[in-house]
Amino acid sequence: MNKGERTRLEILKQSIIYSSQYGLADITIGTVSKLCSLSRTGVISHFENKEDMQIAILQYGEELFRERVIKTAWRENPLEHVINLLENWADWTSEMFQEHQVSCPFIKAVVEFQNRPESKVRTFTIEQQNRLISYLTHRIERCVEQGLLTDKISSLAIAYELYSLYLGHAITQHTAPIKASDTLFKNSVARLIKQYQTNT
């Protein structure tokens, strides 16, 4: 890795932490230059414009997500895989950036951009959410195929309910006066999955 690649990686590392704290919409070339002690020109040299930089930040976050959440969740039993996936997903940013008060940068981004005018960043945030839900749906389909979850309701519907639990947890875990939010989330996931488990 050459100096330019190391600098770009440092920019993305600092930016994903910032985005996990404060959101993506207001992150600018100036913000990033201060975070990384670089000149504005030093930041601009790695990205064509602000939008390209914001998308690169989300892409980097997705790479981290695959490494920290998806790969470590894998189990041969698809239902155990789904449970591990949700548990890993619950606090993945907090575990990576322990010294910071953070939450999921993907959720922050889609909330910020979903009602804004059409843009490359808005399109990317929505597509990113769809990829996450599609992956969860695919894993649930494997459970249905092996007779571990019912086929009387669509896999997408189950994925939507599980993802909705995650959204609630991600939003309230640092703001609501709720203790033991991790335990409450895990118990909620377990109850929901039990509701759709088969008797086999």
What distance in Å separates the CA atoms of residue 126 and residue 68, rounded to the nearest whole number? 21
Helix axes 3-22, 105-113, angle to 10 degrees: 70
Domain assignment present for 78: yes
Domain assignment present for 20: no
What distance in Å separates the CA atoms of residue 151 and residue 198, rounded to the nearest whole number? 9
Tell me: the pLDDT tens digits for 119-170? Answer: 999 999 999 999 999 999 999 999 999 999 999 999 999 999 999 999 888 8
Tell me: the pLDDT tens digits for 54-65? Answer: 999 999 999 999
Domain assignment present for 106: yes
| Helices and strands counted in the chain (H then E) | 11, 0
Which span out of 23-32, 35-44, 69-78 was modeled with the highest average pLDDT? 69-78
Domain assignment present for 17: no
What distance in Å separates the CA atoms of residue 40 and residue 25, rounded to the nearest whole number? 18
Domain assignment present for 14: no
Are 58 and 65 in contact by the 8 Å Cβ rule? The answer is: no
Q: What are phi and psi of 46, to 5 degrees?
A: -100, -10
| Of 85, 193, 93, 190, residue with least CA distance to 132 | 85
Rounded to the nearest integer, the mean pLDDT of the chain is 89
What confidence tier does 104 reach under pLDDT thresholds 50, 70, 90? confident
Domain assignment present for 40: no
What is the number of domains present in the chain?
1
> Domain of 143?
59-196
Domain assignment present for 25: no
CATH code where residue 102 lies: 1.10.357.10
Domain assignment present for 177: yes
What distance in Å separates the CA atoms of residue 120 and residue 128, rounded to the nearest whole number? 12
* 14 three-state secondary structure: helix
